Structure 1
């Protein structure tokens, strides 16, 4: 039976619950996922003097075909984008600047160093997001940046973050859609600190200086990202969830939730509705932690479905800026992008195909029996047939057919590197 025939059969099953698949498709098309470029080169970047990866970040595996030039990375992204339904964004770190062989330190970066990315984004009809890179650098070698006791080091990173916001503003102006510029820092201590307050005061003062710089907020959206711990900062992280939640709320910045940055028993799906009561918008970095913040490729597990559900059933598709943040060098990197991004979109479609209003009503009525029964039964509704049809309507391969194209690309391109 064809994809179209399957779809026509299952469509009626959803319609009996008042669910319009056509409306679901239209909503889904309007949601851009910010796809992180650093999956393609293992967070190496293109600085003239390549730095050793640091900041509590580790990439494991040596699968062949890693991108080593901007052209290779963009080519790999193009292949992945051709296999993912919808119009999306690409998320860059500052280390992906192109400086024509000149050594440009991070506090000297300018929009011109990202012109090639902007020209490519225009050709591909994608948006761009941005991140200052406050790791893998001599001035971050001791694990402190914006909270460093040395003012000269703080000033270096403050200037880098200001310039990063200006680069985000440039992206927004050139591409006609605002860039999200997100600040994450590795600052913390391996063992129990004797003073938790002073580093946080310094971080607050540094952020105040960064955001005091005049940047058009209609072109660049600022976000701050917390973390529980990292390698080398097991005991204390300056930029905790409580710190950034308070800072974002007081200063009208986006609070970015990373699904690997909390206790193993915490989930960001449970935080979305709480924060949306107090913030007009939120930002997400979706990854898959396995026992710790290990940034595995996103799969369609319970938490990813819950993230999609919290966004959809709270009418927040236009309020939550969804980005991905995983890196796996043990498998084909183009496949990793494709698997993870398709799964993020699947979670949203799954949520759009639930009778959410009816389930809310059952909860308000105290009818928990029927609520649980329906939530469980919908898990085995023929969602896959709807997804396959959506993919074909969007001009990308359905089911596992996309994997054949990745294999062909690996043989023709990746294996030649």
Structure 2
């Protein structure tokens, strides 16, 4: 797409939005300040480097066998760097605990330390990306059906120590990067069939979390967030960490709550939950995925659910309190392409939300002018927002329109196809 054409289309779009009272330049500036936390596990199908040949457990599953997955830390870093070249803005990288640099040695999860992630921290400084972190309770011989909520005290103690160490690792990441690291806590605990001791397991999960959280760490370095789930493969009947459990825990302890788009009922969206939770927790963390009737972790695309989610973030007026992270792992298609499509789709949804004449729409609501509100919301659907996004990409020096497709094909030909 020629630069002259991009600028011409942008000028026309800018004029149309100005007629609605929308400052396009301001919207672009706000979008540029949205740092998406990119999940490292799309590149290698959630294998990690603790035991790359190990079985993926914990109610999650990567399907497909598309060639070219990352097999080493260097390959993963190269893949992420390529992704960053193809998207506008400055972003973050979210690491799971199994992605440490263990130097070829086996380091069990109750023994991991900040030193095992120092090469990642150095990489982050070099690339300008910030890091987020995730405890890893799945895919381990001591995972089973239960970890922090196990009836076995030895199992609980093992995972409590893992959680302690993950918090310290995340805090060190936050200290070195000068920006708080969001540490996400998702525990797969649950059962496939009817479970009698539900409250007992939830009591144990609460006790385990309470014990670990007694170690106070400055929120300048670390922000803990707890993540709920409705069900997983092998835990269809019961998950200990339900939405109600973690909503209560987050509110009681004044901590972040993670809302994953795929962790609720098949027809339930998370958009409407944001405005409620922002009233009771300091910040909200999002895992944006695309469930196809269940938590199937499909690549994020620009659909109604994503747009509604973005609109609620912007309309809340508290964008700074909502952290956007991605969480999907599609092994059936080009993995770099999966990253770029998902990130760009998320940005496009956010841009559309930022290009709304929000104050005008609120005024209509106050005056009970519901027809006018509906009419403008419908007209916005046909506005030339994509011309604005193309111009943003041009500004940032990244591929415009479909140009990224050729870049990814070239990378596959020269790099991933040779793995």
SS where residue 312 of structure 1 aligns? helix
Are 1:269 and 2:263 an aligned pair?
no
Hey, what does 1:400 align to over in structure 2? 402
Alignment of 1:178-217 (within 5 A): 178-217=180-219
TM value normalised by structure 1: 0.98
SS where residue 392 of structure 1 aligns? helix
Hey, what does 2:84 align to over in structure 1? 81
- 1:47-79: per-residue Cα shift (whole Å, max 9, x none)? 147421000111011111100000000000000
- 1:177-225: per-residue Cα shift (whole Å, max 9, x none)? 1100010011011111112110000000000012112322210100000
Higher mean alpha-carbon deviation, 363-372 vs 303-312, is at 363-372
Hey, what does 1:138 align to over in structure 2? 141
Figure out how many residues of one structure are paired with residues of the other and give that number: 416
SS where residue 197 of structure 1 aligns? helix
- 1:280 deviates by 2.3
Are 1:155 and 2:157 an aligned pair?
yes
Hey, what does 1:66 align to over in structure 2? 69
| 8 Å contact from structure 1 (residues 305, 351) kept in 2 | yes
Are 1:255 and 2:233 an aligned pair?
no
TM value normalised by structure 2: 0.98
Q: Distance in 2 between matches of 1:67 and 1:145?
A: 28
Hey, what does 1:386 align to over in structure 2? 388
94, 97, 101: which one aligns with 2:97: 94
Decide whether aligned partners of structure 1 residues 48 and 259 sit closer, same or farther in structure 2, where only a CA change above 3 A counts: closer
Hey, what does 1:126 align to over in structure 2? 129
- 1:372-407: per-residue Cα shift (whole Å, max 9, x none)? 111111101111111100111111111010111111
| 8 Å contact from structure 1 (residues 33, 324) kept in 2 | yes
Q: Distance in 2 between matches of 1:372 and 1:206?
A: 49
Q: Distance in 2 between matches of 1:397 and 1:49?
A: 33
SS where residue 59 of structure 1 aligns? coil
Q: Distance in 2 between matches of 1:63 and 1:196?
A: 39
| 8 Å contact from structure 2 (residues 269, 305) kept in 1 | yes
Q: Distance in 1 between matches of 2:397 and 2:158?
A: 46
| 8 Å contact from structure 2 (residues 286, 323) kept in 1 | yes
- Consecutive unaligned residues of structure 1, counting only runs of 5 or more, are none
SS where residue 210 of structure 2 aligns? helix
Q: Distance in 2 between matches of 1:322 and 1:73?
A: 21
Hey, what does 1:43 align to over in structure 2? 46
- 1:132-178: per-residue Cα shift (whole Å, max 9, x none)? 100000001x2210000001100100110110010100111111111
| 8 Å contact from structure 2 (residues 348, 386) kept in 1 | no
SS where residue 108 of structure 1 aligns? coil
| 8 Å contact from structure 2 (residues 255, 282) kept in 1 | no
SS where residue 138 of structure 1 aligns? coil
Hey, what does 2:248 align to over in structure 1? 246
Q: Distance in 2 between matches of 1:307 and 1:262?
A: 14
Root-mean-square deviation over aligned CA pairs: 1.0
- 1:235 deviates by 0.9
| 8 Å contact from structure 2 (residues 275, 316) kept in 1 | yes
Q: Distance in 2 between matches of 1:283 and 1:316?
A: 13
| 8 Å contact from structure 1 (residues 49, 103) kept in 2 | no
- 1:363 deviates by 2.0
SS where residue 212 of structure 2 aligns? helix
| 8 Å contact from structure 2 (residues 228, 263) kept in 1 | yes
Hey, what does 1:329 align to over in structure 2? 331
Q: Distance in 2 between matches of 1:210 and 1:300?
A: 39
5, 8, 16: which one aligns with 1:5: 8
Q: Distance in 2 between matches of 1:232 and 1:329?
A: 20
SS where residue 131 of structure 2 aligns? strand
- 1:265 deviates by 1.7
Higher mean alpha-carbon deviation, 359-368 vs 85-94, is at 359-368
Hey, what does 1:19 align to over in structure 2? 22
- 1:299-342: per-residue Cα shift (whole Å, max 9, x none)? 01001001110111111220101100001011110110100011
Q: Distance in 2 between matches of 1:63 and 1:402?
A: 19
Decide whether aligned partners of structure 1 residues 11 and 100 sit closer, same or farther in structure 2, where only a CA change above 3 A counts: same
SS where residue 222 of structure 1 aligns? strand
Higher mean alpha-carbon deviation, 48-57 vs 205-214, is at 48-57
Q: Distance in 2 between matches of 1:387 and 1:28?
A: 10
Decide whether aligned partners of structure 1 residues 48 and 295 sit closer, same or farther in structure 2, where only a CA change above 3 A counts: closer
Higher mean alpha-carbon deviation, 355-364 vs 296-305, is at 355-364
SS where residue 341 of structure 1 aligns? helix
